Every structure is written in structure tokens, then in C-alpha cells.
């Protein structure tokens, strides 16, 4: 009986979360009327990190702050702003962290260079092996 109560209590437990009671921002859950604009906003939102949840994009998150960011992205797209300009605006405020699209910087260049180096090394190795094979 006690176990049952415990299980029931666990099932109906309400997590203690700090959430506001304000309605979501105007464009947080509403798509833009122009499907082409909405597609551009959606593509951008999928590559922007939710700052509260950190492993989700703002398109995926129900955090109020992600909603506020979506609303701002849609408003700016509707006003004719370029998606990359919006991304740059956010990167200026939160650093590269806010964007899921990697940039080539002095910090990230090894990530781009290493695969090329490895491919070159493999090509070199293969050539030597194949040459040896010809000789025997």
C-alpha cells in the first residue's frame, strides 16, 4: 500500500520550476504568413542555440526565452532583415556559442584542416602501398 502511494506520488509530482505566467511573445508560436519568409526564419531558428536549455535549438525549445528569441527572429525576418545579419547580431551578444553553424576562426581552423590532412596522409600511404604491390 505504501509502495503504491509512493508510486502515485511520484507519478503526480509537480516539478518545482521557476516559470513566468506571461503569455508567450507574439511570434513565439505563430508562423509568419509568407511561407517563404517562414521557411527562412525556421532554417535560422534551427541553427540558433537555446540559451536556457543549451542542447536544443530555439526551434525545439519551449523555454520562454527561446520563445522570445523565435519571436524576435520572425519579426526581424518579416521586417526584411537577412538571416545571417540576425545571427551576427546574436553572436555579437553571446559569442559563437549561440550559433550551431561553425565558423572558421583562429580557434576552429584545426577542425577544418585535420580532415584534409588525414585525407592527404591516406592518399600518400595508399600510393606507396600500391607502388610496392606493382614492384613485387
Partner 1 sequence: MNAPESAPRRVSPWALWLPLALFAGFLALVFHGLAKPGSTEVESAMIGKPLPQFDLPPAVEDRPGLTTSDLRQGKPRLLNIFASWCVPCAVESPQLEALRQQGVAIDGIAIRDRREDVAMFLERNGNPYARIGKDDVSAVQLAIGSSGVPESFVIDGKGVIRYQHIGEIRTDDLPLIREKLREAEQ
Q: Which residues sit at the interface with partner 1, rule CB under 8 A?
A: 18-22, 25-26, 51-52, 54, 64-65, 68-69, 71-72, 90-95, 97-98
**Closest approach of Cβ 26 to partner 1, in Å?**
8
- Sequence-ordered list of residues with C-beta below 8 angstroms from that of 33, at least 6 positions apart, any chain: none
Q: Least Å distance between CB 21 and partner 1?
A: 7
- 97 or 100: CB nearest partner 1: 97
Residue with smaller CB distance to partner 1, 5 or 55: 55
Alpha carbon of residue 50 to chain centroid: 7
Q: Looking at beta carbons only, is 38 or 68 nearer to partner 1?
A: 68
List all residues 6 or more positions away from 20 whose beta carbon is below 8 Å from its beta carbon.
64
Q: Please report how close the Cβ of residue 97 comes to partner 1 at its closest, in angstroms.
A: 6
Q: Quick one: which of 38, 39, 44 has its CA closest to 57? A: 44
* For partner 1, the closer CB: 7 or 118: 118
> For the residues of 43-95, what is the DSSP string, one character each?
HHHTTBB-TTTSSSBTTT---HHHHHHHHHHHHHHHTT--HHHHHHHHHHHH-
Amino acid at each position: 500500500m505504501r509502495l503504491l502511494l509512493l508510486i502515485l506520488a511520484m507519478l503526480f509530482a509537480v516539478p518545482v520550476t521557476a516559470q513566468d505566467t506571461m503569455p508567450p511573445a507574439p511570434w513565439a508560436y505563430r508562423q509568419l504568413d509568407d511561407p517563404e519568409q517562414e521557411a527562412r526564419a525556421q532554417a535560422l531558428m534551427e541553427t540558433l542555440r537555446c540559451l536556457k536549455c543549451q542542447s536544443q535549438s530555439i526551434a525545439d525549445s519551449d523555454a520562454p526565452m527561446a520563445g522570445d528569441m523565435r519571436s524576435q527572429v520572425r519579426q526581424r525576418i518579416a521586417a526584411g532583415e537577412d538571416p545571417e545579419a540576425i545571427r551576427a547580431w546574436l553572436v555579437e551578444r553571446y559569442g559563437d556559442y549561440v550559433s550551431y553553424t561553425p565558423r572558421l576562426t583562429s580557434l576552429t581552423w584545426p577542425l577544418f584542416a585535420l580532415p584534409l590532412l588525414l585525407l592527404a596522409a591516406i592518399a600518400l600511404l595508399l600510393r606507396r602501398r600500391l607502388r610496392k604491390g606493382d614492384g613485387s
